[in-house]
Chains A and B, each alone.
Chain A
Amino acid sequence: MRRLEPGLKAGRLDAADYLRNFSDLHPRLDEHEALVASDRCYFCHDAPCMTACPTSIDIPLFIRQISTGNPIGSAKTIFDQNILGGMCARVCPTETLCEEACVRNTAEERPVEIGRLQRYATDIAIEQGRQFYTPAPSTDRSVAVVGAGPAGLACAHRLAMHGHQVTIYDHREKAGGLNEYGIAAYKTTNDFAQSEVDYILSIGNIDVINGGMLGRDFTLADLQAKHDAVFLGTGLGNVNALNIPGADTNGILDAVEFIANLREAKDKADVPVGRDVVVIGGGMTAIDAAVQAKLLGAENVTICYRRGKEHMNASEFEQDLAASKGVHIRHWLQPKEVAHHHGHVSAITLEYTHVEDGMMKGTGHKTEIKADQILVAIGQKLDLMGIEQMQLQAGKIAIDAEGRTSLPGVWAGGDCAFGGQDLTVSAVAMGRDAAESINRSLAVQAAGLTAVA
């Protein structure tokens, strides 16, 4: 039976299983459902949901527009603040943002379904190809955006709106950043990431150049010579490594790469997965990797996190989702050593931890878990290549309130910069706001040229 074979194997399940497993986690609302859901919104003053949204989408207004039969108007309201409202509607942890703040959560512990309503409106607009924005008259200025993820796309679109020419540089084959390569497949089906990229680029005046990497193929100085400003939306290109004996054994993979391979595979049946998978880590990436390993047909999937449930970065919702898919989440365990058999990982030894004098320490007690695949999700970090001269803050690029880095003419936003919440929606907000800052800065420069003595 293929499904139960040990080792890394592709095609553990039937085609029908893959289809079902990776179908939309939250299928789209139909019109009737959207009307019923939108009816529940109280149209709050200074709405808590709006305040909770990092991009300050006017949620009461967009929901009211759905309820009055104007989904296109609703989509524009969303896109005005967040041009990636479609992806955000699918991946945003609404359970800790807008839906947590919703007053109906306070009233009946049943918030308005803001995420699904946002998807309803944006899907309609994107499907119809409705464009709401046109570029302002050309400013004859050009801006370089490094990274075609949500931060870079949001920045580029806003700059294009203001009349600037934009060139996006991304080292990957396709644009989209983590939207394309990192988001759980069951959250964005039907190649939505690319549809959205196409929709955003439709405004015009944005070129995308794939394949070149900052630091390796070109420098910041090169960009500054060709463009009037630079925005860095490069994300976190490195992952923290497991520094334990046996960490380089076959069968150990960083979770981000595992997810990217899965997303790019033409057919889920081509993706190899172990029978006994252990995921090290406690954040959203660990959950995404673990859940998808299970959906690919792994028999046992165990998440091992080095502290307690209350410390996990992954939200309650995500933890519950994992549990509902059959993932076993274990706490207070840190990896100690990888065992191998015939050159391939066979088990991992972990040490029980506890808190002593306010610090996490090992207890000396150990346990061993059988594993033929280990996915490492213990954090991503900034790749410093090409930005060595920048000031950092807590390991990320230091920026001011406008998104400016320590280098004049260079802005940054998204996961690579300090201050966001490491969410798609934060990246959009930072990219958009940096674009506004760049625009103001370029206008000042232009005005300066015509100053009268």
Chain B
Amino acid sequence: MADLRNNFVGIKSPNPFWLASAPPTDKAYNVERAFRAGWGGVVWKTLGSEGPPVVNVNGPRYGAIWGADRRLLGLNNIELITDRPLQVNLQEMKQVKMNWPDRALVASIMVPCVEEEWKAILPLVEETGADGIELNFGCPHGMSERGMGAAVGQVPEYIEMVVRWCKQYTRMPVITKLTPNIADIRKPARAAKAGGTDAVSLINTINSIVSVDLDNFAPNPTVGGKGTHGGYCGPAVKPIALNMVAEIARDEETYGLPISGIGGVTTWRDAAEFMVLGAGNVQVCTAAMTYGFKIVEEMITGLSDWMDAKGHRNLDDITGRAVPNVTDWKYLNLNYIAKARIDQDACIKCGRCHIACEDTSHQAITAEVDGVRHFEVMEDECVGCNLCVNVCPVENCITMVGLEPGTLDQRTGSPVSPIYANWTTHPNNPTAVQAAE
């Protein structure tokens, strides 16, 4: 029976599934429902300074992208940080933490970039018994216009400065939440580490416009006839998040820095992917908002059952396991040759592989053989790009087969080389590195 107990920078939870700071973690009512449903921890919706809270629009706050059958693939929100008074939040957090001592309760905070503001709020949060704080440097809308949120997250110097203050004024673990709206995620991550952060969490949401209302000529969600950019989240953003997590996990300077993975986690498999790329736990939002808190049951059983099937006893057995296999393009083995192979028993003869290859790739798949509709890979044309695998509607109908060294590659007429060789030494590369004598 796999052990899902999680210890993230000293914060303990019964499983690695936390809820990210957002409407689902807005108040005690929601958070207690989440804990009853089995979630391991929550990051409470971002707290602002003492004083009049922010105000949200009273109209649509979300736009969406759908796949087939109106399956929600991406959400885009224009909601702000908590619009409830700070004291109400603090009292509720204290009570919830007392009611649920074995679950993680972390407070997300966003106050102006002024030392006094951070100095003021940290002891108040600490007093609630919260397990840690998460610095919100990510809101791409609404707060960034006021010099907070992404306005901080895009400036590494500000990140380092604020993190330093937080490490100075609280004994709680500090998690720095990073915005993806930046050219190189390693820079803010390094800055956070330099400031002394205990961990980073990413990604926050991505600047986006999901769709445009063609009758009103305004972006969705439309408030009073006008729209604005919002934060994109959900299954659609997972690839962006996975890449950024991997970059930080393998960067020399931030290697080993604990990471909380956020961005489209919907099933156990998504969580596992984040974790093997270096995340010590994951935070979920869109999936919970789409299906309700009960989805954590699938995540817990799925992760546990997979770990049992593979012999992974606990989370340490899986965290970061894929990081050594993330490399730069230039180091990929150019002598690894793969070809696509179509399983004729599974093939339903839709022809999509053929047209994708014929129109847009290397013309390596037949449409008919001996006058009969038949789809087969021509290895002398196939470059192994695997576009066909990705467009085929039937799982495992087309697979990529790596050719054994020594086998003839019909396309080049040469046998597959057993030697590892990459672009850095390739004769076509003007900047090729000469092998040492």
- The interface of chain A, by Cβ under 8 A from chain B, is 31-32, 35, 39-40, 43, 45, 60-61, 64-65, 68-70, 72-73, 76-77
User: Is the CB–CB distance between A77 and B301 below 8 Å?
Assistant: yes
Tell me if B252 counts as interface (CB < 8 A to partner A): no
User: Is the CB–CB distance between A39 and B395 below 8 Å?
Assistant: no
Cβ of A69: which chain B residues have Cβ within 8 Å of it? 269, 302
Given A39-B69, A40-B69, check contact A68 B395 (CB 8 Å). Answer: no
- The interface of chain B, by Cβ under 8 A from chain A, is 69, 267-269, 291-292, 294-295, 297-298, 301-302, 305-306, 309, 346, 394-395
User: Is the CB–CB distance between B298 and A68 below 8 Å?
Assistant: yes
Cβ of A35: which chain B residues have Cβ within 8 Å of it? 395
User: Is the CB–CB distance between B302 and A68 below 8 Å?
Assistant: yes
Complex CA gap A69/B267 in Å reads 10
User: Is the CB–CB distance between B395 and A64 below 8 Å?
Assistant: no
Cβ of A68: which chain B residues have Cβ within 8 Å of it? 267-269, 298, 302
| Residue from the list A40, A70, A72, A76 in contact with B268, Cβ < 8 A | A70
User: Is the CB–CB distance between A65 and B301 below 8 Å?
Assistant: yes
Cβ of B295: which chain A residues have Cβ within 8 Å of it? 43, 64
| Residue from the list A39, A40, A61, A65 in contact with B294, Cβ < 8 A | A61
Distance to closest chain B CB from A189 (angstroms): 23
User: Is the CB–CB distance between A70 and B306 below 8 Å?
Assistant: yes
22 contacts between A and B (CB under 8 A): A35-B395, A43-B291, A43-B294, A43-B295, A60-B294, A61-B294, A61-B298, A64-B295, A64-B298, A65-B301, A68-B267, A68-B269, A68-B298, A69-B269, A70-B268, A70-B302, A70-B305, A70-B306, A72-B305, A72-B309, A73-B302, A73-B305
Cβ of B291: which chain A residues have Cβ within 8 Å of it? 43
Complex CA gap A45/B298 in Å reads 15
New A-B pairs, 7, CB < 8 Å, besides A31-B395, A68-B268: A45-B292, A61-B298, A64-B295, A65-B301, A65-B302, A69-B269, A70-B268
Overall SS of chain B's interface: helix
Distance to closest chain B CB from A130 (angstroms): 10
Complex CA gap A64/B395 in Å reads 17
Overall SS of chain A's interface: helix
Complex CA gap A371/B5 in Å reads 70
Q: Which of B291, B292, B298 has the most chain A CB atoms inside 10 A of its CB? A: B298
Complex CA gap A39/B267 in Å reads 13
Cβ of B301: which chain A residues have Cβ within 8 Å of it? 65, 70, 73, 76-77
Which residue in chain A gives the minimum CB-CB distance to B297? Answer: A61
The A-B contact count (CB < 8 A) is 44
User: Is the CB–CB distance between A65 and B269 below 8 Å?
Assistant: no
User: Is the CB–CB distance between B305 and A32 below 8 Å?
Assistant: no
Q: Which of A31, A45, A70 has the most chain B CB atoms inside 10 A of its CB? A: A70
Complex CA gap A73/B306 in Å reads 9
Cβ of A60: which chain B residues have Cβ within 8 Å of it? 294
Complex CA gap A106/B346 in Å reads 33
Distance to closest chain B CB from A65 (angstroms): 6
Cβ of B268: which chain A residues have Cβ within 8 Å of it? 68, 70
Which residue in chain B gives the minimum CB-CB distance to A72? Answer: B305
Cβ of B302: which chain A residues have Cβ within 8 Å of it? 65, 68-70, 73
Which residue in chain B gives the minimum CB-CB distance to A60? Answer: B294
Complex CA gap A32/B309 in Å reads 21
Cβ of A64: which chain B residues have Cβ within 8 Å of it? 267, 295, 298
Distance to closest chain B CB from A294 (angstroms): 34
Which residue in chain B gives the minimum CB-CB distance to A63? Answer: B298
Given A68-B269, A69-B269, A70-B305, check contact A32 B395 (CB 8 Å). Answer: yes
Complex CA gap A70/B395 in Å reads 15
Which residue in chain A gives the minimum CB-CB distance to B268? Answer: A68
Distance to closest chain A CB from B305 (angstroms): 4
Which residue in chain A gives the minimum CB-CB distance to B394? Answer: A32
Which residue in chain B gives the minimum CB-CB distance to A69? Answer: B269
9 nearest A-B residue pairs (beta carbon): A68-B267, A73-B301, A73-B305, A64-B298, A70-B302, A43-B291, A70-B305, A68-B302, A61-B297
Complex CA gap A77/B269 in Å reads 18
Which residue in chain B gives the minimum CB-CB distance to A67? Answer: B267
Distance to closest chain B CB from A110 (angstroms): 12
Which residue in chain A gives the minimum CB-CB distance to B270? Answer: A68
Complex CA gap A77/B297 in Å reads 10
Which residue in chain B gives the minimum CB-CB distance to A65? Answer: B298
Cβ of A77: which chain B residues have Cβ within 8 Å of it? 301
Complex CA gap A40/B294 in Å reads 18
Which residue in chain A gives the minimum CB-CB distance to B267? Answer: A68
Distance to closest chain B CB from A164 (angstroms): 24
Cβ of A32: which chain B residues have Cβ within 8 Å of it? 346, 394-395
Distance to closest chain A CB from B41 (angstroms): 22
Distance to closest chain B CB from A56 (angstroms): 14
Cβ of B346: which chain A residues have Cβ within 8 Å of it? 32
Complex CA gap A40/B291 in Å reads 14
Which residue in chain A gives the minimum CB-CB distance to B300? Answer: A73
Distance to closest chain A CB from B399 (angstroms): 14
Complex CA gap A31/B396 in Å reads 10
Which residue in chain A gives the minimum CB-CB distance to B308? Answer: A72
Complex CA gap A60/B292 in Å reads 12
Distance to closest chain A CB from B20 (angstroms): 20
Cβ of B306: which chain A residues have Cβ within 8 Å of it? 70
Which residue in chain B gives the minimum CB-CB distance to A104? Answer: B69
Cβ of A65: which chain B residues have Cβ within 8 Å of it? 298, 301-302
Q: Which of A35, A43, A61, A73 has the most chain B CB atoms inside 10 A of its CB? A: A73
Distance to closest chain A CB from B303 (angstroms): 9
Complex CA gap A31/B394 in Å reads 10
Complex CA gap A61/B298 in Å reads 7
Distance to closest chain B CB from A342 (angstroms): 57
Q: Which of B69, B301, B395 has the most chain A CB atoms inside 10 A of its CB? A: B301
Complex CA gap A72/B306 in Å reads 10
Complex CA gap A116/B155 in Å reads 55
Cβ of B269: which chain A residues have Cβ within 8 Å of it? 68-69
Distance to closest chain B CB from A134 (angstroms): 11
Distance to closest chain A CB from B104 (angstroms): 24
Cβ of A70: which chain B residues have Cβ within 8 Å of it? 268, 298, 301-302, 305-306
Distance to closest chain A CB from B84 (angstroms): 25
Distance to closest chain A CB from B261 (angstroms): 18
Complex CA gap A64/B290 in Å reads 14
Distance to closest chain A CB from B24 (angstroms): 15
Cβ of B309: which chain A residues have Cβ within 8 Å of it? 72
Distance to closest chain A CB from B206 (angstroms): 25
Distance to closest chain A CB from B272 (angstroms): 11
Complex CA gap A76/B302 in Å reads 12
Complex CA gap A60/B346 in Å reads 28
Which residue in chain B gives the minimum CB-CB distance to A39? Answer: B69
Complex CA gap A86/B346 in Å reads 27
Cβ of A39: which chain B residues have Cβ within 8 Å of it? 69
Q: Which of B69, B294, B306 has the most chain A CB atoms inside 10 A of its CB? A: B294
Which residue in chain B gives the minimum CB-CB distance to A74? Answer: B301
Distance to closest chain A CB from B265 (angstroms): 12
Cβ of B69: which chain A residues have Cβ within 8 Å of it? 39-40
